[in-house]
Amino acid sequence: MEPGNDTQISEFLLLGLSEEPELQPLLFGIFLCMYLITVCGNLLIILATISVSHLHTPMYFFLSNLSFADICFTSTTVPKMLVNIQTQSKAITYAGCITQLFFFLVFGALDDCFLTVMAYDRYVAICHPLHYTVIMNPWLCGKLLLASWIVCVLHSLLQCLMVLRLSFCTHVGIPHFFCELNQMVYLACSDTFVNDIVIYFTSMLLGGGPLAGIIYSYSKIVSSIRTISSAQGKYKAFSTCASHLSVVSIFYCTGLGVYFSGRATHSSHSSATASVVYTVVIPMLNPFIYSLRNKDIKRALKIVFGRETMKESIGLELK
C-alpha cells in the first residue's frame, strides 16, 4: 500500500496500562489523585513566582514556565485516560489522536528545553556570579523562551505531518494510555522507513543536544565548586543545583529508556508502564522537589497563604 493520507480508520483503541476490569477503579483513583496533585502543585509554584517580587529572577522565571509545561504535558494524556476508564471505552478518534500527539510532543520537548535553559542559568550563576544579571537579562530570557517554543512546535508539527502520511489498516489497538509516536508508527501498514529516520534523528537532536548542554554546564559547575575553599560555600553552591539535577536525572533516565528501547518492547505494555514515570510522576514530583529543597519557594508560599508578610520575608533574607 502506498503511503498517503487516505487513512482507512476513523479511530484508535487505547489499550491502557491494564485490561483487567477489576483494576480499572484503582487505576482511575490513582491517576486522578496524581493529576490533581500535579495541577495544584505546579499552579502554586506559578502563583508564588508571580506574586512574590523577590522571585522575579531568571531562575524562577524558567521554573514557572517549566511548571506550566508540566501541567499541560500531563493534561494531554491523563484526562483522556480517566474519561476512557470512567466510560469503559478505549476509543479515541483519529483526529483526536493526532491532536493529542501534537500537544504531547510540544510540551514534552518544552520540558526538555526548559531543563536545559535552567542548567545554563545555574552555570552562569555559579561560574560567573558577578556578571549574572548582565548575562541573564530579561531580553535573553525572553529570546530563550521564544526559541524553545519555536523549536518544539516545529518539531511536533514535523512528526505529526510524518504520521499523517501513513496508512493504517485493521489493527488499531495501541498498547498505551495515550497516542505515543513510536506505537503509532509501528501500527502503520505502509512503509515507515522515513518516519523511523526522522524519529531517531530528532531524538538525537532534541534529546542528545540538550543532554550534552546540561552535562557541559554541570561539568563547569563542578569545576567551579571545587575551587571554593570553605565546605559551607561548596554546600551552598551545590544546593542551588540539587533540585534541578534530581529532576534532570529522573527525566532523562526514564525518557531515554523508553524512546531508545528496541522494537521488541513495542508489542508489550512495558514502554507504557515506564512512560508513566516521565509523563505523570515527574510532573507531580517537580513542585515537591523544588519547594521542599528551596527556602525561597517555601517562604513565598507562606506569603501567598498569608502566614508571613513581605517585610518579615525581606528581613529574614537580609539576616
Long-range contact set of residues 179-185: C-beta below 8 Å, sequence gap at least 24 = 179/12, 179/14, 179/92, 179/97, 179/98, 179/100, 179/101, 179/104, 180/101, 180/104, 180/271, 180/272, 180/275, 181/101, 181/105, 182/259, 182/266, 182/271, 183/266, 183/271, 184/12, 184/97, 184/101
Q: Which residues contact 26 (CB under 8 A, 6 or more apart)?
A: none
Q: Which three cell numbers stand for residue 27?
A: 487505576
pLDDT at 193: 92
- Cβ atoms of 210 and 116 closer than 8 Å: yes
Q: Torsions phi, psi of 176, nearest 5?
A: -155, 170
Q: What single-letter DSSP state applies at residue 267?
A: G
pLDDT at 259: 56
pLDDT at 226: 87
Q: Looking up cell 491532536, which residue turns up?
A: 99
What is the CATH number that goes with domain 11-318? 1.20.1070.10
pTM of the complete model: 0.88
Output the DSSP codes for 116-185: HHHHHHHHHHHHSGGGHHHHT-HHHHHHHHHHHHHHHHHHHHHHHHHHHT----S--EESSSS--HHHHH
Give the HSE-up count for residue 180: Cα atoms under 13 Å, Cβ half-sphere.
Answer: 25
Crossing angle, helix 24-51 and helix 58-75, to 10 degrees? 160
Q: Torsions phi, psi of 36, nearest 5?
A: -65, -40
pLDDT at 298: 76
Q: What is the pLDDT along the chain (319 residues), one digit of tens a residue?
A: 444 444 467 889 998 887 788 888 999 999 999 999 999 999 999 998 998 888 889 999 999 999 999 999 999 999 999 999 999 888 999 999 999 999 999 999 999 999 999 999 999 999 998 999 999 999 999 999 999 999 999 999 999 999 999 988 776 888 888 998 988 898 888 889 999 999 989 988 988 889 899 999 999 999 988 888 888 878 877 877 888 888 888 888 776 666 555 444 444 566 777 778 878 988 998 888 887 667 777 777 777 777 655 554 445 444 4
pLDDT at 318: 45
pLDDT at 257: 63
pLDDT at 316: 42
The alpha carbon of 267 is separated from its chain's Cα centroid by a whole number of angstroms, namely 25
Residue 101 to residue 68: CA distance in whole angstroms: 18
Residue 96's nearest CA partner among 5, 38, 13 is 13
Residue 192's nearest CA partner among 172, 166, 160, 174 is 166
